[in-house]
Structure 1
């Protein structure tokens, strides 16, 4: 088996505040090590579960958070941007299963550090009328490649939002949200032990099925401000709605992901 581990930071045990997720301060330096340890736990679990090769995808911010020399040397690491598949970069490398480590709940949700792709740019995302966060969006991208999401970790709100989408996926609750910047967390050691055990079990039973939606895909989004929606709709493929809303149609989930990530980059013009 070839396994892809997509690792974000907001769902990691002990992470509560934006400063911990933003480079340039001591709290981030500690947080990126916690992220790396959870990635290593997932890598170890993958090999325990029978993997013959593991790619670990650095999926937060600029996609270059985890020090490569601190990652399990049995894995290869995918870092840096831009890249067409975003948080699923490496999916085109003959992958058999995906694990989502350190993920978080969707924009406007009640989970810790909840957002979808870009907290400055986007307030809501729907595909064919179904509200999704990053797990749903990228899980559908994996499904388009025929690859199931077998495991996910993050807070309780992330799990509650995604359980129906991934009913056979095994989840690890690393913390319980009591607010967007507060919660009750496992210790990092407990979280890593649970992640390693769960990844191994998920790969042994391989019960999860790929997440698939019917094409074509109607993407409706709400920007964080009308000004951002105006900016995005300079792009001719987008249709302007009321208030903060805009929409576009995609033939494939991969096309939608690439469009959304381009809009995220565009939003920097109004920061």
Structure 2
């Protein structure tokens, strides 16, 4: 049984500040080690639950955060970017389940370090009128392949936001939001124990979890954070500008919707 893990950093126990997700400082080095340890807990739990293979995709920032030499050697690791499917690169129909580890709530919510893909660029992302964060968007992509999201870890706001999308999934709530940059955290050791237990249970029961699907035809609406960013997005010939800060696309699949989101995210660098 093949299991897929997408690993972000904002939802890791002990991570509360943008500095901890930004390369070039001691706080980041500490956070990426905590991230690696939580991934190892999920890997160990997945194998205990019956996984035969585990593929991990580093899904934060430049996507080279995890320590390869400290990762459980039973798993394979995807590092670096750009890559076609970004946070879910490497996922295939052969995977029995996907795990969203260290994830966070969507932009303009009360979760810790909440954002959607690119905090500088995006205010809201809607697919077929449904507002989605990263877990929902990539979970819908997994569902389009017939793969269920079986476990999510992060803060309590992530669970509150996504439980209706993934009602059969397991959750590892490792911290509770006090504010956007403050949390009541579980001790890292306790967080890892919870993740391991939940991963084992999730994998053992993966066949009973239904994928999250959004049926086509598709309409993607992206609300940018400024009119200037919307000016930039509107340069794309197939984009329809709806108002000062919102553009729409009609992608042929959830995969293509994700590709448009990531294209605009990359373009936004021109205005930083």
User: Does the TM-score normalized on the shorter chain lie above 0.5?
Assistant: yes
Matches within 5 A, 1:28-67: 28-67=28-67
Q: Match of 1:172?
A: 172
Structure 1 residue 110 and structure 2 residue 123: aligned?
Answer: no
Equivalences, count: 271
Residue 219 of structure 2: SS of its match in structure 1?
A: strand
Residue 32 of structure 1: SS of its match in structure 2?
A: helix
Q: Match of 1:204?
A: 204
Question: CA separation of 1:211/1:93 partners in 2, compared to 1, >3 Å: closer, same or farther?
Answer: closer
Q: Structure 1 stretch 89-98 or stretch 184-193: which is displaced more? A: 89-98
> For each residue in 1:151-175, what CA deviation from the matched residue of structure 2 results, as whole angstroms up to 9, or x when unmatched?
0000000100000000000001110
> For each residue in 1:79-131, what CA deviation from the matched residue of structure 2 results, as whole angstroms up to 9, or x when unmatched?
11111111111113721110110000001010000000000010001111111
Residue 246 of structure 1: SS of its match in structure 2?
A: strand
Residue 176 of structure 1: SS of its match in structure 2?
A: strand
Structure 1 residue 17 and structure 2 residue 17: aligned?
Answer: yes
Structure 1 residue 5 and structure 2 residue 5: aligned?
Answer: yes
Q: Match of 1:222?
A: 223
Q: CA deviation at 1:243?
A: 2.1
Q: Distance in 1 between matches of 2:260 and 2:132?
A: 16
Residue 95 of structure 2: SS of its match in structure 1?
A: coil
Matches within 5 A, 1:62-211: 62-92=62-92, 94-206=94-206, 207-211=208-212
Q: CA deviation at 1:25?
A: 0.5
Structure 2, unpaired ranges of 5+: none
Q: Distance in 1 between matches of 2:82 and 2:50?
A: 31
Aligned structure 1 segments of 4 or more residues deviating by more than 3 angstroms: none
Q: Distance in 2 between matches of 1:92 and 1:81?
A: 19
Residue 250 of structure 1: SS of its match in structure 2?
A: coil
Q: Structure 1 stretch 84-93 or stretch 67-76: which is displaced more? A: 84-93
Residue 102 of structure 2: SS of its match in structure 1?
A: strand
What's the TM-score, normalizing by structure 2? 0.98
> For each residue in 1:193-228, what CA deviation from the matched residue of structure 2 results, as whole angstroms up to 9, or x when unmatched?
000000100111222111111101111111010000
Residue 103 of structure 1: SS of its match in structure 2?
A: coil
Q: Distance in 1 between matches of 2:6 and 2:169?
A: 15
Q: Match of 1:252?
A: 253
Q: Match of 1:235?
A: 236
Q: Distance in 2 between matches of 1:93 and 1:212?
A: 14
Q: Distance in 1 between matches of 2:30 and 2:157?
A: 24
